[in-house]
Chain A
Amino acid sequence: MSIFAKNYWYTKMMELATSDARVKTQLFHFVDVLPVLQTVEQKRDHLIEYLSAPYGQKSWPMVLKLISSLVRVPLLDRAMVGIADFQVKQMAKNFIVGNSLEEALPKLLNARSKKIAFTLDILGEGVFSDYEAQFYFDKYKTLIEGLGEASKSWKKISPIDESSLGDIPPVNISIKISALDCRMDSMSFEASLKRLIARLEPIMELAMKKNVFINFDMEQFALKDLTRELFKQLLLMPKFKNYRFFGIVCQAYLKSSLSDIYEWIEIAKQRGTPFSIRLVKGAYWDYETIVANQNGWESPVFAKKVESDANYEACAKVLLDAFPAIELALGSHNIRSISYALAYAEEIQLPENSLEVQMLYGMADPFKESLVKRGVRIREYAPVGEMLPGLSYLVRRLLENSANDSFLKQSFLDNTGIHHLLRSPKS
Chain B
Amino acid sequence: MSLKMKAKISEEQMMMSEFKNEPLANFTLEVERKKMMDALAKVKSEFGRTYGLHTADQVSSASNVITSRNPAFPDQIIGSTISATKEDADRALKIVTEGSKTWKKTPASERISLLEKLADWMVSHKYELSAWMVYEVGKSWKEADADTCEGIDFCRYYAREMNRLAEPRMTQMVLGENDTLAYFPKGVSVVIAPWNFPFAILAGMAVASLVTGNTVIIKPAEQSVVIGAKLAQGLKAVGFPQDAFFFLPGVGEEIGPMIVNDPRVDIIAFTGSADVGLSIIESAARKPKAGQRGVKKVIAEMGGKNALIIDEDADQDEAILGATHSAFGFQGQKCSALSRLLVHEKIYDAFVKRFVEAASGLKMGDPANPEFQMGPVIDEEAQKRILKTIQDAKTRMKVLFESKTPAGNGYFVPQTIFECTDAHEKWFQNEIFGPVILVKKFSTLEEGIELVNSVPYALTGGIYSRSPSHIEKAKAEMEVGNLYINRAITGATVQRHPFGGFKLSGIGSKAGGPDYLLQFLEARTVSENVVRRGFAGEKA
Query: Which residues of A pack against B, CB within 8 Å?
Result: 29, 32-33, 36-38, 42, 45-46, 49-50, 126, 128-132, 182-183, 185-189, 191, 221-223, 225-226, 295-297
Q: Which residues of B contact A188 (CB under 8 A)?
A: 369-371
Query: Which residues of B pack against A, CB within 8 Å?
Result: 20-24, 26-30, 33, 141-142, 312-313, 315-317, 320-321, 324, 346, 354, 357-358, 360-363, 369-371, 373, 466-469
Q: Which residues of B contact A128 (CB under 8 A)?
A: 317, 320-321, 324, 354, 357-358, 361
Nearest 7 interchain pairs by C-beta: A296-B23, A129-B357, A186-B28, A128-B358, A187-B27, A33-B466, A191-B371
Looking at the assembled complex, report how far the CB atom of A73 sits from the nearest CB atom of chain B, in whole angstroms: 19
Known: A183-B363, A222-B28. A131 touches B357 (CB 8 A): yes
Query: Which single member of A37, A50, A189, A221 contacts B468 (CB below 8 Å)?
Result: A50
Decide: A225 and B28 in contact? CB cutoff 8 A: yes
In this complex, the member of A29, A42, A132, A188 whose beta carbon has the largest number of chain B beta carbons within 10 angstroms is A188
What's the Cα separation between A36 and B387 when bound, in Å?
39
Decide: A37 and B313 in contact? CB cutoff 8 A: yes
Decide: A49 and B354 in contact? CB cutoff 8 A: no
Q: Which residues of B contact A226 (CB under 8 A)?
A: 28
What's the Cα separation between A32 and B369 when bound, in Å?
37
What's the Cα separation between A361 and B469 when bound, in Å?
36
What's the Cα separation between A345 and B315 when bound, in Å?
46
Q: Which residues of B contact A130 (CB under 8 A)?
A: 360-361
Looking at the assembled complex, report how far the CB atom of A254 sits from the nearest CB atom of chain B, in whole angstroms: 13
Decide: A38 and B346 in contact? CB cutoff 8 A: yes
Q: Which residues of A contact B142 (CB under 8 A)?
A: 187
The residue of chain A having its C-beta at the shortest distance from the C-beta of B321 within the complex is A128
Q: Which residues of A contact B370 (CB under 8 A)?
A: 185, 187-189, 191
Looking at the assembled complex, report how far the CB atom of A270 sits from the nearest CB atom of chain B, in whole angstroms: 20
Decide: B321 and A32 in contact? CB cutoff 8 A: no
Q: Which residues of B contact A129 (CB under 8 A)?
A: 354, 357-358, 360-361
What's the Cα separation between A36 and B350 when bound, in Å?
12
What's the Cα separation between A188 and B370 when bound, in Å?
5
Q: Which residues of B contact A33 (CB under 8 A)?
A: 313, 315, 466
Looking at the assembled complex, report how far the CB atom of B443 sits from the nearest CB atom of chain A, in whole angstroms: 14
In this complex, the member of B21, B27, B28 whose beta carbon has the largest number of chain A beta carbons within 10 angstroms is B28
What's the Cα separation between A183 and B361 when bound, in Å?
7
Q: Which residues of A contact B324 (CB under 8 A)?
A: 128
Decide: A187 and B20 in contact? CB cutoff 8 A: no
The residue of chain B having its C-beta at the shortest distance from the C-beta of A48 within the complex is B469
What's the Cα separation between A295 and B346 when bound, in Å?
36
Q: Which residues of B contact A37 (CB under 8 A)?
A: 313
Total contacts A to B, CB within 8 angstroms? 81
Query: Which single member of B22, B371, B469 contacts A296 (CB below 8 Å)?
Result: B22
What's the Cα separation between A33 and B311 when bound, in Å?
12
Known: A37-B313, A183-B363, A191-B371. A225 touches B357 (CB 8 A): no
Query: What are some 8 contacts across the A-B interface (CB < 8 A)?
Result: A129-B360, A132-B357, A183-B361, A183-B363, A188-B370, A191-B371, A222-B28, A296-B20
Decide: A32 and B315 in contact? CB cutoff 8 A: yes
Q: Which residues of A contact B357 (CB under 8 A)?
A: 128-129, 131-132
The residue of chain B having its C-beta at the shortest distance from the C-beta of A52 within the complex is B468
Query: Which single member of B24, B27, B466 contacts A32 (CB below 8 Å)?
Result: B466
The residue of chain A having its C-beta at the shortest distance from the C-beta of B20 within the complex is A296
What's the Cα separation between A425 and B354 when bound, in Å?
46
Q: Which residues of B contact A49 (CB under 8 A)?
A: 467-469
Q: Which residues of A contact B21 (CB under 8 A)?
A: 296
Decide: A297 and B363 in contact? CB cutoff 8 A: no
Q: A132-B357, A222-B28 are in contact. List 5 more A-B contacts (CB 8 A).
A: A33-B466, A128-B321, A128-B354, A187-B142, A189-B30
Decide: A187 and B141 in contact? CB cutoff 8 A: yes
Decide: B22 and A126 in contact? CB cutoff 8 A: no
Q: Which residues of A contact B362 (CB under 8 A)?
A: 183
Q: Which residues of A contact B27 (CB under 8 A)?
A: 186-187
Looking at the assembled complex, report how far the CB atom of B440 sits from the nearest CB atom of chain A, in whole angstroms: 21
Known: A38-B346, A49-B467, A187-B370. A297 touches B313 (CB 8 A): no
Query: Which single member of A29, A189, A223 contacts B466 (CB below 8 Å)?
Result: A29
The residue of chain B having its C-beta at the shortest distance from the C-beta of A392 within the complex is B317
What's the Cα separation between A131 and B313 when bound, in Å?
24
Q: Which residues of A contact B467 (CB under 8 A)?
A: 45-46, 49
The residue of chain B having its C-beta at the shortest distance from the C-beta of A43 within the complex is B313
What's the Cα separation between A187 and B370 when bound, in Å?
6
Query: Which single member of A126, A182, A186, A297 contacts B317 (CB below 8 Å)?
Result: A126
Decide: A189 and B33 in contact? CB cutoff 8 A: yes
What's the Cα separation between A11 and B220 when bound, in Å?
62
Query: Which single member of B28, B313, B360 contacts A42 (CB below 8 Å)?
Result: B313
Q: Which residues of A contact B28 (CB under 8 A)?
A: 186-187, 221-223, 225-226
Looking at the assembled complex, report how far the CB atom of B341 sits from the nearest CB atom of chain A, in whole angstroms: 15
Decide: B466 and A187 in contact? CB cutoff 8 A: no
The residue of chain B having its C-beta at the shortest distance from the C-beta of A38 within the complex is B346
Decide: A295 and B24 in contact? CB cutoff 8 A: yes
Q: Which residues of B contact A32 (CB under 8 A)?
A: 315, 466
